[in-house]
Chains A and B, each alone.
Chain A
């Protein structure tokens, strides 16, 4: 192994450092990728950006992680027109590569899947919105799409095989997506998901804006992840600007992050019980969630805590009376969740539907880079809050529960336990509320680029921000949903179609957060 292949430590102690390693000539590119694969690295993200200085060069950034040593390895590859696919070694790269081909028009040689991903058939051919030459604005889409240009699903044929097509408009109050099941008898033996119906062009929309203007966009990535995404965006912007929020601001952010996690997980638990026709249990979780949202409105001024996180800190303080209120509220939530949980898991009909349903095997965690409660209920142990602590998590370490069986039941237990852990965490940080400013007054935003990672309710969110001339040049978002979505195609195999809703709910993947 050549010395140049050795990974560089670029993330340490919370704040992600970045170091660009240029590989203009691709002679050792393949060698490096193979080395990373052999050494058990996981692909965290792959994205492209146009070079600011030369403008005619595309830079592909590969972010790998070694999970044993908890370090991040970043590799860059410059190209003017084409690239080499690494999907044979890192299968999840296929999605990133398709995304880049759509956005920038760069083909990947050796790729096993070249279908369009984010741009559906209505978009014209040779339309690549992330190129700088394209100025954001209305596009003439096609009314008529020729037959041969329609999306080609993988076709599975054989005796007794039939297809069930679901979506994009589903039967419930839920986001749009399309599922194509191949079924024999009752058992699903293949599922292909097709998403991006909610593609709103978030990354392009951020370009050319000042960082503060982009906060609203970060909040709109996914409905119940407003805080996680805006904190992640702010961490990247603050790193570029060299701002460090005060400990009080970090604590307030911590409260907001954990309140958001509690809301989201309560809704998951309610959803799982609804989907197995146990409304008595579901109602208790739903009622608790409403109480949490009302608490959010009281503390932060918005039910989804929007407009609260700002670059340098937060927009409003919480008074001491409200803090006391929050403490007792956290206690009550913890107790009520335990009661609601006990009532659900002592119902044999609930256990019957949840146990052994929709298993996500532990062996999938690394190849697919599964994160969040989905990975932690299948024997995973990762959590950005403890792996790469940021903000308040540098000072307080949350409890991270985990489970092993990987079925819907273990995800239900995992989520119920995470709610209680978050409630205890809120209580412990509000008990030691430090004094100080809530917002560090901003120095000018410098040019530069930075990564940040945040553990949202669904898992690891990664934001990359590049600022040139005080404006955003490139904003790349990779949410936990983007990687976790792949788990559903594995989890449903061998299950029956009527169990799909509960499997889907237990994974709780965001469509908007994936489609961007």
Chain B
């Protein structure tokens, strides 16, 4: 019994991490306001890797790390395209992934937005001349926003989302 009451009055076990990224915080709160006005609370993102080297995925995963914790601004990553408002597509689309990307796109309910993430997804990048890719993401599905970078850093992705929300508002 004593242990139980003791737990009630003890300090929280979690530690506070000092967030030093003031840019991210600023863009985050702006994004939250935009999401609230366009989507009424939150947006759901489905990520699809179509030919990336995984660096973009690492940065996207970092968005959920304690330093960024993008979920507090109303952005969630979901497991199925059927739950998604936005598709994050990375990498130049390989021939082996083209069909899967199309199917994922078709499974996402409209209205939907596609964001191409990273140089390869935007232009084909260094893989432009390869036999194994069919081109940038826009050669397979319609792209609404491009976020270039090798790979883009978390703050660039949140800036991109902000642009996308502004775009969604005017469309």
Contact = CB atoms under 8 A, between A and B. Distances in A.
Contacts of A304: 55, 58, 151
Contact of B133 (A196, A200, A280): A200
Interface in A488-512: 510-512
A313 B36 CA distance: 51
B104 interface: yes
Most buried by A among B77, B80, B97: B97
Contacts of B52: 175, 198, 223, 512
A189 interface: no
A374 to B, nearest CB: 18
A290 B65 contact: yes
Contacts of A199: 94-96, 132
B150 interface: yes
A219 B159 CA distance: 26
Contacts of A84: none
A220 B132 CA distance: 15
Binding site of A, secondary structure by majority: helix, strand, loop or mixed? loop
Contacts of A301: none
Contact of A169 (B55, B94, B104, B126): B104
A510 B94 CA distance: 17
Contact of B54 (A129, A202, A287, A512): A512
A10 interface: no
B23 to A, nearest CB: 13
Interface residues on B, range: 35 or more
Contact of A205 (B127, B150, B151): B127
B86 to A, nearest CB: 13
Contacts, number: 140
Nearest to A171: B79
B141 to A, nearest CB: 14
Contacts of A303: 59, 153
A173 B100 contact: no
A385 interface: no
A304 B153 CA distance: 10
Interface string B122-157: 000011011111100000000000000011010000
A198 B127 CA distance: 12
Interface string B93-107: 011111110001000
B13 A139 contact: no
A223 B58 contact: yes
B57 A173 contact: yes
Contacts of B130: 136, 200-202, 204-205
Nearest to B125: A220
Contacts of A221: 53
Given A136-B131, A139-B131, A267-B58, A123 B95 contact: yes
Contacts of B60: 173
B65 A223 contact: no
A129 B95 contact: no
A198 B91 contact: yes
B65 A174 contact: no
B163 to A, nearest CB: 21
Contacts of A153: none
A395 interface: no
Interface stretch (B3-11, B26-34, B43-51): B43-51
Interface of A: 120, 122-123, 129, 134, 136-139, 141, 168-169, 171-176, 196-202, 204-205, 216-217, 220-224, 226, 267, 280, 283, 286-287, 289-290, 293, 303-304, 306, 510-512, 515
9 contacts: A137-B131, A141-B98, A176-B50, A200-B127, A222-B53, A222-B54, A286-B65, A290-B66, A515-B96
